[in-house]
Each structure stands twice: as C-alpha cells, then as structure tokens.
A and B are shown apart, each in its own frame.
Chain A
Amino acid sequence: MNKQRVGLLWFSGSLAFALLSMLVPLPGALQPFKPYWPALFLLYWALEAGDQRVSLGLAFCIGLCADLLDGVLLGEQAMRLCALVFIALRFRSRLRFFPMWQQTLAVLALLLNDRVVLLIVRAFAGESFPPATWWISPFVGAALWPFLFLLMDDLRLRLRLQ
C-alpha cells in the first residue's frame, strides 16, 4: 500500500517536473533546442505503465495544465498530447520491445508529428509560419530520449517502484 503510494507520488512528481521544466527560460541562443518535456515524460509513462496509468483523459488534463501555464491557446497542448498518447498506447506493445535505436526513431516520428499538428493549429489561428530553427526541438527531444528512458528506468528499479 505504502509502496503504491510512493509510486503514484513518483509518477505525478515526474509529470509536475516536466511541466515546470517546460517553463524554465533558457538563454536566447539555446531557446530553439528546448525539447518538449511533457511529451517526453508522458511517452515514457505510456510505454512503461500503459493505460493503467496513462489514459487519454490524463493526457488531456496535463495538456490543459500546460496550456494554463503557457498561456498560448487553451486546448492546444491538450490536443497535441492526446494525439501523442493515443498513438503511443496503440503501438505500445510493439514499441516496448524495440531496440533502443528503433524506439528513438519512433519517438522522433511522434515528436515531428506533434510539431505538424501544432503547425496546423497555428495556421488555423492565423499565426505566422515559424522559422526553420523551430524544427530542431523534436530532434533534441529524440536525442535525449535514450538517456531519459534509461535514467527513469534505472531510478524506478532502484526505488523498486511499480
């Protein structure tokens, strides 16, 4: 019972950390390199715990929180995270047993897809086309994925959490 509670705390703590690191400002030159943290952490949990923990509703709620913090457009990130988590959950059984490099490529595809969705939303909102550096972020996210995955897995095993 206690272990379960710690596990839940660890889970929600990592998501809160993801939201917070989304807000942390970087020096101007590094700005385009910032990965989309909530997506990475949600992907990790979607692959690790499946729909016992990560559901579309949770992704929607996290997205709404991110929208509230980011102040861009209410529902934008909710939609992006929903689509992301849906695809990840649908292909979870396969993604889990991929070797790491294939998994990384899959994550890259998911993040690029996420950017395309964002582009469509922005186009409908009548905003301008973003600069080329805007496309760097998914690649950085994918490059960080193996480290994030191994680190989180290692911590989880060490703490003996579910």
Chain B
Amino acid sequence: MPKDFLKHAKDEYDVIVIGSGLAGLTAANMLGRGGLSVLLLEQHYKLGGMATWFRRSGGHIFDVSLHGFPVGMIKSCRRYWNSEIADSIVQLKGIRFDNPMFSLTTTFNREDFTRLLTGQFNVPAENIAAFFDAARAMNFYDDQRTTTGELFEKHFPGREDVIRLLMEPITYANGSTLEDPAVSYGIVFSNFMSKGVYTFVGGTDRLIGLMTGELERSGVDVCIRSDVEKIIVQRGRVRGVQVGSRTIKARAVVSNSNLVTTIFQLVGEEHFDRDFIDEARAVRLNNSSCQVYMAFKPGVMIDESQGDLLFSSTAPLFRTEALLSRDITSRTFSFYYPRTRPGTDRCMVVSSTNARHEDWADLPEEEYEASKRDLVKTTLDALEKYIPNAREIIVHAEASTPRTFQHYTRHAQGASFGTKFEGLAVSRALPQQITGLLHAGSVGIIMSGWLGAINYGVIVANDVESLLMKDELCPAKKS
C-alpha cells in the first residue's frame, strides 16, 4: 500500500491552497493566522516550490534559487512570518560584473551605482538622478507602451555599457528583457537596486524549515505528495478540489500553481468567459533556466574577493537573444561561502543561465545527456577564468535544464519566472470569473522573485479574507 499523504486532511476547509511556493506558503500562513481553517497541498515531497535545495552524497547542499533578494524581504518576513526568519537576512556586498565592456565590483545600491556611473562611466550625475527618480516613480498601472529599452535610451542614449550594468542583474533576477514594459523594470529596479542584495543565513532548507514550523503554529494542515487533479467549480463558484481519491470541500481555493496550468488544466476553460480565455491564452510564459551546481572540496576556501554574485559574460553586447541562446556566453555565478551556511566546511558555486524550454524539450535522451555534460564542461571552462584550478578543487558538478525545472515544479515549459506582464491582469481577474478562486504566484515580473511572491501571497490572502467575510455578512449568497 502506498502511504496515504492525505490521511490527516479533513473533508472540508475554509481555504485550500494548491502549491507551496513562497506565495502559496505565505497565503496559507496569513489565512491560518487569521483564524481560517486552511489546507496546503503540495505535489512534491518538499515545500518551497522554486525556493528549493537538494543534497548530494558527500554532504553537499545546493541552493537552487537563493541568489539574492531585495531588502524588502526583511520587512515582509518579519510581518508575514516571524522575527527569527527576518533576523536571518543579511546583505551580500560583493556583486561583480565582468564582460568585454567593463569589470567592476559594487555593493549594488543607489550611492554605489551613482559613484560608478559618474566615475568609471562618465555619466553626468543629473542624468543618473533623473533615471533613478523616474524608475522610483513608476506604478504598475502606469503606461505600458514604453519599453525598458526605450527608458534606457531616453536617459542614457547610446550607452550600451550603462544599460548592461543596470539591466543584466534584473534579467537574471526575473527574466525581464529590454522588450518588456518599462514599468516592470522600474518597479523591480527601485526595489532591488536601490538598497543592495540580501540572502538568508542557513540556506533555503533552514528558511523552509522555519516557515514549516510557523505554518504549524498558524494551524495550517500541510500535505506533501498531494497532486491536485481538479479544482471543482459549480454554478460559477469554487467548491473544493479533487486530489487522489479524495474530494475536499472548500469555500475558497488559492492556486499557487502556474497561472496557465490553473486555468486550462486545474479548472478547465469551459468554466470561464470566452473573452477571459482569449486573454489567458495570450499570456506569455517567462523563460526557463539552466544551472550548473558545483561543490568544492571540504575545507578548501575560495577567496571572498570572488564576490557573492558574478555576472560574467563574453558577449560583446547585451542582447536578450544572446542571453537565451544555447550558445551560452553569459552566466551568473552565485558563490556560497560558509558564512551564509554556518557549520559547513565548504564553498559552493551555482552557475545560472536563462534558457528556452523548446531548445531542450525534444532532445532525444542520449543527446540530452550529452548536452548536459557539455553544459558542465563549458561552465567549468568559464569558471576557470576566475578560479584557475577549479577542476582540481571541485568534487561534484551537475547540471539542470528547463526539463529539470518542469519535472520538479510542474510549471508549464519549466518557466522559472512565471509569466510575462500580462499575466498579472489575468491572475487578478480570476475571482471575477469564478467566485472563491484566486491565483497567487509569479506573474508579470513585479509579483515575481522571492519578495514579489511573498507579497503577492499576502495580497491574495487579504482578498480571500474579504471574500469569506462578505459571505458571512450575506449568508444567503453562501451556497
């Protein structure tokens, strides 16, 4: 008999949350804290979604997406989680760039960017101030016709080097491109680049462990290995979910599954208006990623002058197309030192590259394995520029591809940053289509990344509480 992971689940809840990415976890925690009965269902055997890690023999622990997040995480974790989580967030001060246009190290805040741009890049201080102010003044409901490329052209005409400095990290952080609306860049930029890059001491496993403890205190029931097949909708209202052999009732369902998957697979298009379905079909997914995970010999310390994040590229110019190409010229190396994982005796480095699902999806098995080996080899070659004896001191190296991301997260096309900008409007409009159905997850850049996902979870938890309170005030509507 397979183990029944749903055995402790009741037959009925106020709210069911599907998926335990940071948005799902946070929504579940807020709702549980608010006194509602909440069931969190996760298809994988670990909570966290893309906020994840894995272990390999020899005691290696690799973080998959803990590359750095904005300072706002401290406030959000303190409020929506607890002070132990918030107090474990520390700044990463060594952010490096190395490409044919420039090489530099920055603390990644407004003061330091201004110093670099006026000094090394010879940009007048007033242009820099105007750019920072324009980015900061942006709202998500602003004009979406201006692209990020046009925004740069306005403030730094002809300065491809400046664009690269200001854009490359954001592209790696959330997949946004020069062709996306400028607001999506501006909001992330002002969040992210004005006050530095931060990380979580103890690694993703510790964070998710602390969050799991907090969920328990909030009274949330959690079931892993519980893959929801259907969200049950009757007469325009959500009724519950079908999971394994169980039907579990709920007054509201929050899907932290990919937006497109939620609409077309979990609910089914027959439950939505034609126009809404057309809009949902037009939502573009963001790209996926390739990563190479490398562990150094126990006790061998990498000099911290390597930095924490290294945006490395051999491409002469910064181009979206080049970033996505399988002919990899740009990589972000995340260096992990024992200071951010106290108690360990080794350094790790994870190389990340944006990638397209379609470039990997249909490779025959043999070619796929060969391509992965090649990815490891070329990544080690690239790393040797910075750590010449890398091959002698690295004891474990392996690659992941868009197929890996798809396998573990079940995201359509292995998308590692949710959907493009238009996904936000579709996500927000879901409850108008089906009462009691909400979506929280990476949509439209600004709700992506660690902080965006947590905050979106809070926003949606607030919507659910409002909805359920309205129900109680007008009980006639309840059934």
A interacts with B? no
